[in-house]
Structure 1
Amino acid sequence: MAPVTQPGREPLLLFRVLARDERLFARFFGAGLLDRGHLTLRQREIVIHRICALNRAEYEWGVHAAIFGERAGLGPQELAATIHGDAASPCWTADEALLIELCDESSRAAAVSPDLWRRLETRFGELAVLELLMLCGFYRTVSLLVNGLALPCESWGRRFAEFPPA
């Protein structure tokens, strides 16, 4: 589990649970999308945070907020908006609002309207849209895992309550 741990920290509880089954653990990490793909770190983290917040997956949201939030330039206003806001929240750029719109629409309908697809493809390109859809789906699965397992938040993870509505 060494490649997925952080110096000075025990491996994440989710990783320890999945590692009980070597096959599941390998498949889970084989599907990961935390590498440098077609999105910036900030774009990727906005999507992950929003999908986790929509699914009330505080465990995963809190891990990403603690590990990636600052590096991705997500301050308190943006983190709160991933939980309580929408695409019209004033902290989002036009491109970021499109990402929030994708998260919201795909979570409601498990689909993307032709209009939203066109706008996403125009702005980000076809390959980035494919990555965005995979990211939404993967973190919806992660949300189901952490919620279904009723994982308690990591002691160092951020909590929804730290970021009340504006």
Structure 2
Amino acid sequence: MSRIAPLAPPYAAEIQEQFDKVMPPGKAPLLLFRTIATSLRAWGKLRGGSMLDRGPLSLREREIVIDRTTALNACEYEWGVHVAIFAGPAKLSEEQVRATVLEKADAACWSVAEQALIAAVDALHHRSTWSEQEFATLQKHYDNDRILEIIQLSGAYRTISYFGNALDLPLEPNAARFPK
């Protein structure tokens, strides 16, 4: 069980409506969502981030950023949820999913643009910035809107990793597990 008890159904009508907007039809809300929603302020801030909307990054690029960020933060909970739901639609191979956890940014399974993307996520995680060379490499493949999205996603999913890890959320039953 989570360190903070999650909401249990039936949910208040407003909360149920919000859960319905972020979950596929017929799927119960994730433990993460039910736990954060115990605080309307925290839930409102999380929802306000709009990190799963159609932004300037492709689904594949978005998921690479999220998977790498959550892996770097050792948040198996969130990594596993994203891999289970989005790896297929994002066309991430098993080798690439594994690489988000176990390989360096320059792993051969990634395109040159994806290597630059992963290196950018790694730099943000480790140093909270990019060198001039890292930024120049990223700019060869991504425009300013996409670069800003990379920064925002990396930061948002670092925060989500904090929630998952600090609350000691048990893994979702159908979520992927970190590769060994």
Which range, TM-score by smaller chain? over 0.9
Other-structure match for 1:159: 177
Which is richer in helix? 1
TM-score, with length taken from structure 1 = 0.93
Structure 1 position 65 matched with structure 2 position 49: no
Question: Which residue, 88, 97, 102 being the options, matches 1:79?
Answer: 97
Other-structure match for 1:92: 110
How big is the shift at 1:143?
Answer: 0.6
TM-score, with length taken from structure 2 = 0.86
Q: Could you tell which deviates more after superposition, 70-79 or 23-32?
A: 23-32
Q: Which runs of 5+ in 2 are unaligned?
A: 1-18
Structure 1 position 26 matched with structure 2 position 47: no
CA distances 1:86-124 after superposition (whole Å, capped 9, x unpaired): 122111000000111011111111111121112212321
How big is the shift at 1:125?
Answer: 0.9
How big is the shift at 1:6?
Answer: 2.4
How big is the shift at 1:29?
Answer: 0.9
1:44 counterpart letter in structure 2 = R
Question: Which residue, 125, 139, 145 being the options, matches 2:163?
Answer: 145
Q: Distance in 2 between matches of 1:43 and 1:74?
A: 10
Overall identity of the aligned pairs, in %: 41
Q: Distance in 2 between matches of 1:46 and 1:4?
A: 20
Q: Distance in 2 between matches of 1:114 and 1:46?
A: 22
Write the mapping of 1:41-60 to structure 2, written as runs, cut at 5 A: 41-60=59-78
2:34 counterpart letter in structure 1 = R
Question: Which residue, 29, 36, 50 being the options, matches 2:54?
Answer: 36
1:73 counterpart letter in structure 2 = K
- Assess, with a 3 A threshold, how the Cα gap between structure 1 residues 35 and 143 changes in structure 2: closer, same or farther: same
CA RMSD of aligned residues (A): 1.1
Other-structure match for 1:128: 146
1:41 counterpart letter in structure 2 = L
Q: Distance in 1 between matches of 2:120 and 2:164?
A: 22
Q: Distance in 1 between matches of 2:145 and 2:23?
A: 30
Bigger-Rg structure (1/2)? 2
Q: Distance in 1 between matches of 2:20 and 2:53?
A: 17
Q: Could you tell which deviates more after superposition, 32-41 or 55-64?
A: 32-41
How big is the shift at 1:67?
Answer: 0.7
Q: Distance in 2 between matches of 1:145 and 1:32?
A: 17
Q: How many residues align?
A: 162
Q: Could you tell which deviates more after superposition, 45-54 or 21-30?
A: 21-30
Q: Which runs of 5+ in 1 are unaligned?
A: none
Q: Distance in 1 between matches of 2:41 and 2:159?
A: 17
